[in-house]
Amino acid sequence: MDSVDCVVIGAGAVGVAVARQLAVAGLKPLLVERHPAIGLETSSRNSEVIHAGLYYAPGSLKARLCLRGRELLHAFCAARGVGHRRCGKLVVADAGQEEALLALLKRAHDNGATEVRALDAGAARILEPEVRCAMALHSPATGILDSHAYLLALLGEAEQGGATLATSSAVTGLSLDESGIALWINGAAEPLLRTRCLVNAAGLDAASLAQRIEGFPPTHVPRMHFAKGSYFTLDGRAPFSRLVYPLPRDGGLGVHLTLDLSGQARFGPDVEWLVQGQPFDYAVDPARAADFRSAVRRWWPGLGERALAPGYAGIRPKLSGPGEPAADFRIDGPETHGVAGLVNLFGIESPGLTASLAIAEQVGELLGA
């Protein structure tokens, strides 16, 4: 059985960022990914937004790591030539929603996003003439990035620091003993690896993976919920230079407009709660376009009847279910569960991409790296 310094399970944005962090600290992590390439789940099926920190409970991990992460991410992308842009965004409110919008403004300021300001309808139309709203918030620090290029840059630095990537390698079993953590790969009859340091960054599979650790206290594994979000793309160029969001809704941030670096617009995600145990299905139902049109026309009346085409879908790993208050990230280290060298990352949904470098910093601190 081979022994390695550290194993990071899951090569999405967070897992690769953690591997980079540990490699820079002098460890030689093995980054294990069950898919044939990096970033094929949540990291490639999102809005590619660099969030500014408006939405999250003050003092929460999401709030703190989003604010820290956005600055680290902008700086990382600028230094390494990764495509990104501080395009800004508007959060728009209908008549009767002004009080809720001002509450969101206060939360943003409480979180440290003090650059966010309120606009009346006229000022919002000066920035985006096609937007119709009663009031808006302007967040100039919100941005977009090329998430694929970001992942490749992270991986390159991780490998330069001594990390190794193993794709098509599913972790099918784990056990704890006095020597560390043993791992079974791809259903092997015997464990193939042993490590004293393991980071569970498996995203959608993180809780299931923790349940499979023989000897790990089951009380420290949360119940997960999964929310599918579909995206529709716009046929033609959008008349917007900024992102446009409605007020948040149950389980998500509402159907919003995002732009890629070429200016192509997409709308989403919506929220479709999945039944526990149901196989993940990433197909986009064209019939959902009607609900998308209705949602978008509340703030963009000019959206054409046939302007939307099915795009792609993603699935969010959530620690809160339908109708429940939004849950925080969980970064569970040895002081939480009592297992030396183990860090479990649970419920890393939005703003996980934005916070990825900050999450990696915190994991490094928990492991003394």
Going residue by residue through the chain, which has 369 residues, state the pLDDT in tens, using 9 for 90 and above.
688 999 999 999 999 999 999 999 999 999 999 999 999 999 999 999 999 999 999 999 999 999 999 999 999 999 999 999 999 999 999 999 999 999 999 999 999 999 999 999 999 999 999 999 999 999 999 999 999 999 999 999 999 999 999 999 999 999 998 889 999 999 999 999 999 999 999 999 999 999 999 999 999 999 999 999 999 999 998 999 999 999 987 667 789 999 999 999 999 999 999 988 888 999 999 999 999 999 999 999 999 999 999 999 999 999 999 999 999 999 999 999 999 999 999 999 999 999 999 999 999 999 987
Distance of CA 86 to the CA centre of its chain: 18
Question: Please, what CATH class does the domain formed by 89-139+224-318 belong to?
Answer: alpha beta
For residue 366, give the H/E element and its range: helix 352-366
Q: Report the C-alpha gap between 110 and 227 in whole angstroms.
A: 28
Q: What angle do CA 317, 148, 307 make, to 5 degrees?
A: 80
Tokens of 138: 């302007």
pLDDT computed for residue 368 by the predictor: 87
CATH 3.30.9.10, the chain: domain bounds:
89-139+224-318
Q: Are the C-beta atoms of 70 and 224 separated by less than 8 Å? A: no
Q: What angle do CA 210, 180, 203 make, to 5 degrees?
A: 25
Q: Residue 311 has what DSSP assignment?
A: E
What pTM did the predictor assign? 0.96
Q: Spell out where 132-208 has E strands.
A: 135-139, 143-145, 164-166, 171-177, 180-185, 193-195, 198-200
What architecture (CATH level 2) is domain 2-47+148-223+326-366?
3-Layer(bba) Sandwich (3.50)
pLDDT computed for residue 278 by the predictor: 84
Q: Specify the 3-state DSSP secondary structure of 332.
A: strand
CATH 3.50.50.60, the chain: domain bounds:
2-47+148-223+326-366
Q: What angle do CA 220, 7, 59 make, to 5 degrees?
A: 50
pLDDT computed for residue 251 by the predictor: 63
Q: Report the C-alpha gap between 366 and 361 in whole angstroms.
A: 9
Q: Report the C-alpha gap between 31 and 162 in whole angstroms.
A: 11
Amino acid at 121: A
Q: Report the C-alpha gap between 225 and 221 in whole angstroms.
A: 13
